[in-house]
């Protein structure tokens, strides 16, 4: 099922990023299309993860404000219509 995100087996931890953008920036668009919610095996893995370049650029150029929220994801539900699995 390639169109859905591959995530660790629940329960797993997730980082959710939300922000208020300054203005349109093509470089941000290229980065943001790959980042919405990131999923991790543990909170320790989240703490070890760092993307300093994107974080610094986000503070200085892309965002007026942002929040990073960490959460535990419990069992999930999915729906896939017949034929969509191909």
Q: Is residue 41 part of a domain?
A: yes
The strand pair at 12-21 and 37-40 is best described as: antiparallel
Number of domains in the chain: 1
Length of the chain in terms of residues written: 86
- What percentage of the chain carries pLDDT values higher than 90? 0
The predicted model scores a pTM of 0.54
User: Left if phi > 0, otherwise alpha if psi is -120 to 50, otherwise beta: which for 13?
Assistant: beta
Q: Is residue 59 part of a domain?
A: yes
Domain enclosing residue 60, as ranges: 12-73
Q: Is residue 42 part of a domain?
A: yes
Q: Is residue 20 part of a domain?
A: yes
User: What is the per-residue pLDDT across 36-71, written as a single tens digit (0 to 9) for each?
Assistant: 688 888 888 887 776 654 666 656 677 777 787 888
């Amino acid at each position: 099922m390639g169109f859905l995100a591959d995530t660790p087996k629940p329960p797993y931890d997730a980082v959710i990023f939300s922000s208020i953008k300054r203005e349109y920036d093509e470089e941000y668009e290229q980065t943001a299309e790959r980042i919405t919610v990131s999923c991790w095996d543990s909170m320790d893995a989240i703490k070890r993860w760092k993307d300093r370049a994107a974080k610094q650029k986000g503070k200085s150029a892309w965002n007026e404000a942002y929040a990073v929220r960490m959460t535990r994801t419990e069992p999930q539900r999915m729906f896939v219509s017949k034929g969509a699995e191909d």
